[in-house]
Each structure stands twice: as structure tokens, then as C-alpha cells.
């Protein structure tokens, strides 16, 4: 740990049991609680507030790029769901199906949406008639249900919150441009808000989304060496449009099928943020996503003038546009320090009688524990600089880890060693599904993505020895 502070005894150490550390932090930091149904969690206010910050950033970006929010029903008639065969085959095992409504049996069973392609297509078939109706750039914020056998808070749940964009375009070029443009929006989210450097690229055919012609993803690397798929964009071509009878009259008067995309990120991003940045004292939240950016803690609060001075500082920082909490409760300063460290609050402002006399405050950075004395005259400017510095330091730390745990491999021995070390194994691949399956069978690693930079590091596939033309990142994953 960088800050050399005493470990929080209520949290399992990362090096002892990373999975238990993660669960401890989710619970102790009051991000979530378990409900009475397995896989369905309760998003507590602090956890939901992180999602709101992600939502606010993305919603603004979506609207800046011309997208509109809609809301589709949460259930899909089975007859409608079955219209797109490949899509159904991919999702059927994960569906929650309603067979009874009130006292009546439901003839056409209702599937609780695992995703909403078919709902959007059914709607688009009714409203798209002419090239003038295109493009349709829709997004919805909702929850979906996938009946997962193994669940973990935020990372994999039977129900999770997400956004799903669904767009229709008059041309293939326009749809392909949309698919890659939204991937860049997600990449920006990682860099600008979450302080997470994503690896991005195209999925292999084995790993692509059911019904898609191409799938692209953003992948994050966790401190235990495993990868986490954090978001995807999909190019569908006109396959769904044909299955659902979506046609438009072109400028030339011909009936044509539009080209479709979809894209989404979920509350899995919360899990990524917890794991990438957290330490043995709890959360370490990037300042631009933190629900509380600054906590103000009076020291020797019973002394005259301390509480009013702390309130004034909190008021000034709030007016400056920061998310601020003043904790003037009767709990001890030590308890408060530990509590807000657990919650990952980026900046802690302390002030007692001596600080007031000197016209200063003490500011502690959560990411490394360093403290600085700041004159009240310079408060807003200094805080602005510290917030920016913390974000940059957190991003650079994660990026250095990513670079240090991306290993070029040329044969199966090197692949096994690299996977034992943890992180991405960057290798050449012939492109055959058999070799991809063999790696999964032998190592339990999967192809995370084909990076856009396809500069090769070798000439042959480590599995079969045939000439290889594709660079792929393999890793064990969540």
C-alpha cells in the first residue's frame, strides 16, 4: 500500500483473498446489500450515486451525439423473441420467463428482457418507412435480467442496471461509424471519469454478441491479473431488420433494409472501479466519479469557533461546484478518518483550533495518504489542482500496471508463464476457432479482443504453428 497507513482490520487483505476483499469492500463501504433473491442486489445510496455519476457523463455524451432516450417494456412475448433465431440461441438459457399473470396462464409466455434488440426492432418496423426517418438514434436506461448461476455484486448479477443504445441507419458505412464512435465514448469515460485505461478492439467470432456481425469491447485489467469486459458495441448489418421486416424507401424509391447497431455498459463499471483502484483500507474513488469528493472533518469540535469555521469551508467548496460532506457528528475524528477512507473519498479536509488561528486547513489525499497545509486564501485553487492531480495519478498508476502486465508470447510455454504471472498475453493467432478453443481448454484463458493496432510480434500461431496474421490479447477473465 502506498500510503503506509494501518490496514483496516474489518477488510480481508487483497493478497490473502482478493475475492473476499472485494465482497468486504462492497458491504463495508455500504455500496450494496443482498436481497432475498439470489443474484438480485440492493443498490444502497452510496453505490447508486456512483452509477449516477457514470450515467450523468454518458447521458450528456449521448445527447451531444444526437441520441434520444426512450423506454421499452420490460417483457418480451416469446413469439416475438423467437423471430431472430441466432439471438434466441445465445440468450435462451439465461432467460427468466413469466407463465402466469394473476390467476390466468399466459399463452404467449413473457420473457423478462435480457437485452432489447427485438423490442426495438418491433418498434422500428412500425415507425421507419422512408430514408427521411433515418437515422434512428435511441438509447434507454433500464435493468435487464439474465439468470446467472454464479453471481457477484456489480460484476455478474441476475439483474443489473445498464444503458443500451439501439440505432438504425440508411447505410452500412454510417452504421459501422456509429459502432466505433460509441466505443470511443466508452473509452473516454474510462480515461476522463473512472481513471481506468481500457484495452479496446474487436471480439473474435467465438466471443461476439449473439446475432452480431462484429462486436467491439473495452476491457479493463484487474489487480489479480484477470480481465473484465466493461462494455461492448455491436454492428448487426441488416440481419435483424430482415427478420423483423424493417424496410424504408430510399431516395431512389427502392425498398431497402436499414443497418443496425447496439451498444451498452452496465453497473459492472462500478465493480471495475472498486477493483482497479481499491486498497486494503477500502475504496479509492477517482474524484470525478466519487459521490463525495471532499469530506470536511472538524477536529476538537467542542472548542469555540471550530464548527462554524468548518461549515464555512464546506460552504465555500460546495459553491465552487464540488460534492462536499461536512461531518460534524459527535463521532471521534479517528472514526471519521477510517470511515471516509473506507468510502474512498478523494480529499479529506481537517481543521482544528490551531488551523483556524493560522488561517489554514490540512488536506489529505486518499489515493496516497499525503497531507498538505493549505491557506484558506488559496482553498478553491488548491483543491482544484489536487482533484486534477489525484485523477491523473490514479490513471497513470493503472496504466503502468497495464503495461507491466501485457506480455508478448510466442509459444505455449511462454503463454502459460504469462498467464500465471497475470494480465494480458499478446500473441499471434492464425484465426482458427480450433486454436482459440484449445487455449481455453488448456489454460482457461479467453480471447479478450483483437487490438486495433495489429502490429504483429511473430509469424506463427503458438498452438498449431501455422502462419498467423492476427494479434490477440488472451487473459483469464471474470
The SS3 of residue 62 is helix
Cell (9 digits) for 216: 467491439
Q: What is the pLDDT of residue 8?
A: 79
Q: What is the pLDDT of residue 1?
A: 42
Q: What is the pLDDT of residue 85?
A: 73
Closest CA to 115 of 206, 18, 215: 215
CATH number at 294-390: 3.40.50.800
| Beta strands 259-266; 159-169: pairing state | antiparallel
Residues 6+ apart with CB under 8 A from 234: 179, 208, 209, 212, 214, 215, 216, 261, 262, 263
State the CATH architecture for 406-475.
Answer: 2-Layer Sandwich (3.30)
Per the confidence metrics, is the pTM higher than 0.85? yes
Under a CB-based contact definition with an 8 Å cutoff, are residues 243 and 234 in contact?
no
Q: Is the dihedral of CA 88, 90, 91, 93 positive or negative?
A: positive
Closest CA to 164 of 258, 260, 92, 240: 260
Residue identified by cell 471521534 is: 332
Which run of H or E residues covers position 233?
A: strand 227-237
Q: What is the pLDDT of residue 453?
A: 85
d(CA 38, CA 152): 10
Give domain limits for the chain. 18-277, 294-390, 406-475
CA dihedral 308, 313, 314, 315 (to 10 degrees): 90
Question: Judging by beta carbons within 10 Å of its beta carbon (0-12, 13-18, 19+), is residue 311 exposed, middle or buried?
Answer: middle
| Beta strands 248-249; 41-43: pairing state | unpaired
Mark residue 383 as left, alpha or beta (left: phi above 0; alpha: psi -120 to 50; beta: remaining). alpha
Return the CATH class of domain 18-277.
Answer: alpha beta
Please report the DSSP string for 94-136 in residue order: G-EEEEEETTEEEEEEEEEPS--HHHHHHHHHHH--BGGG--E
d(CA 361, CA 350): 6
Q: What is the pLDDT of residue 10?
A: 86
d(CA 257, CA 239): 9
Radius of gyration of the chain (CA): 25
E-strand stretches of 319-423 = 324-326, 347-351, 360-365, 371-375, 406-408
Residues 6+ apart with CB under 8 A from 31: 25, 43, 44, 46, 47, 50, 153, 154, 270, 274
Under a CB-based contact definition with an 8 Å cutoff, are residues 227 and 475 in contact?
yes
Q: What is the pLDDT of residue 458?
A: 64
* CA angle in degrees (0–180, nearest 5) for 83-89-93: 120
Under a CB-based contact definition with an 8 Å cutoff, are residues 263 and 209 in contact?
no
One digit per residue, the tens of pLDDT, for the chain of length 478 reads 444 456 778 899 999 999 999 999 999 999 999 999 999 999 999 999 999 999 999 999 999 999 999 999 999 999 999 887 776 677 777 899 999 999 999 999 999 999 999 999 999 999 999 999 999 999 999 999 999 888 999 999 999 999 999 999 999 999 999 999 999 999 999 999 999 999 999 999 999 998 899 999 999 999 999 999 999 999 999 999 999 999 999 999 999 999 999 999 999 999 999 999 999 999 999 999 999 999 999 999 889 999 999 999 999 999 999 999 999 999 999 999 999 999 999 999 999 999 999 999 999 999 999 999 999 999 999 999 999 999 999 999 999 999 999 999 999 999 999 999 999 999 999 999 999 999 999 999 999 999 998 876 668 999 999 999 899 999 999 9
Q: What is the pLDDT of residue 90?
A: 72
Amino acid at each position: 500500500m502506498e500510503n503506509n497507513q494501518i490496514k483496516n482490520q474489518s477488510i480481508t487483505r487483497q493478497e490473502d483473498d482478493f475475492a473476499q476483499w472485494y465482497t468486504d469492500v462492497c458491504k463495508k463501504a455500504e455500496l450494496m446489500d443482498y436481497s432475498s433473491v439470489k443474484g438480485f442486489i440492493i443498490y444502497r445510496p452510496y453505490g447508486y450515486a456512483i452509477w449516477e455519476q457514470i450515467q450523468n457523463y454518458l447521458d450528456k455524451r449521448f445527447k451531444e451525439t444526437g441520441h434520444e432516450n426512450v423506454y421499452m417494456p420490460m417483457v418480451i412475448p416469446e413469439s416475438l423473441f423467437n423471430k431472430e433465431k441466432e439471438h434466441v440461441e445465445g440468450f435462451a438459457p439465461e432467460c427468466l420467463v413469466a407463465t402466469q399473470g394473476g390467476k390466468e396462464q399466459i399463452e404467449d409466455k413473457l420473457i423478462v428482457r435480457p437485452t432489447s434488440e427485438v423490442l426495438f426492432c418491433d418498434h422500428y418496423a412500425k415507425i421507419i418507412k422512408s430514408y427521411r426517418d433515418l437515422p434512428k438514434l435511441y438509447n434507454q436506461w433500464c435493468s435487464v435480467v439474465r439468470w446467472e448461476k454464479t453471481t457477484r455484486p456489480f460484476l455478474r448479477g441476475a439483474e443489473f442496471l445498464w444503458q443500451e443504445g439501439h440505432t438504425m441507419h440508411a447505410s452500412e458505412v454510417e452504421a459501422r461509424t456509429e459502432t466505433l464512435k460509441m466505443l470511443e465514448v466508452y473509452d473516454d469515460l474510462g480515461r476522463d471519469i473512472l481513471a481506468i485505461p481500457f484495452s479496446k478492439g474487436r471480439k473474435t467470432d467465438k466471443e461476439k454478441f449473439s446475432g452480431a456481425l462484429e462486436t467491439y469491447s473495452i476491457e479493463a485489467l484487474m489487480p489479480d491479473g484477470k480481465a473484465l469486459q466493461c462494455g461492448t458495441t455491436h454492428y448487426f448489418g441488416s440481419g435483424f431488420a430482415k427478420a423483423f421486416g424493417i424496410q424504408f424507401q430510399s431516395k431512389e424509391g427502392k425498398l431497402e433494409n436499414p443497418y443496425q447497431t447496439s451498444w451498452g455498459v452496465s453497473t459492472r463499471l462500478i465493480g471495475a472501479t472498486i477493483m482497479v483502484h481499491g486498497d486494503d483500507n477500502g475504496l479509492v474513488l477517482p474524484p470525478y466519479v466519487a459521490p463525495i469528493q471532499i469530506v470536511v472533518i472538524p477536529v476538537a469540535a467542542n472548542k469555540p469557533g471550530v464548527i462554524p469555521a468548518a461549515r464555512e469551508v464546506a460552504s465555500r467548496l460546495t459553491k465552487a461546484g464540488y460534492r462536499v460532506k461536512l461531518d460534524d457528528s459527535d463521532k471521534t475524528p479517528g472514526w471519521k478518518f477510517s470511515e471516509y477512507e473506507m468510502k474512498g473519498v478523494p480529499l479529506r479536509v481537517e481543521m482544528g483550533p490551531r488551523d483556524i488561528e493560522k488561517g489554514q486547513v490540512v488536506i489529505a489525499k486518499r489515493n496516497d495518504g499525503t497531507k498538505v497545509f493549505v491557506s484558506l486564501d488559496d482553498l478553491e485553487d488548491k483543491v482544484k489542482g489536487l482533484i486534477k492531480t489525484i485523477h491523473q495519478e490514479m490513471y497513470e498508476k493503472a496504466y503502468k500496471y497495464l503495461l507491466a502486465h501485457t506480455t508478448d508470447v510466442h509459444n505455449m510455454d511462454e503463454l502459460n508463464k504469462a498467464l500465471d504471472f497475470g494480465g494480458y498475453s499478446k500473441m499471434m493467432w492464425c484465426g482458427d476457432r480450433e486454436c482459440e478453443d484449445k487455449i481455453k481448454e488448456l489454460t482457461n484463458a479467453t480471447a479478450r479482443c483483437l487490438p486495433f493496432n495489429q502490429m504483429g510480434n511473430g509469424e506463427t500461431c503458438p498452438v498449431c504453428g501455422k502462419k498467423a496474421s492476427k494479434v490477440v490479447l488472451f487473459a483469464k477473465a471474470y
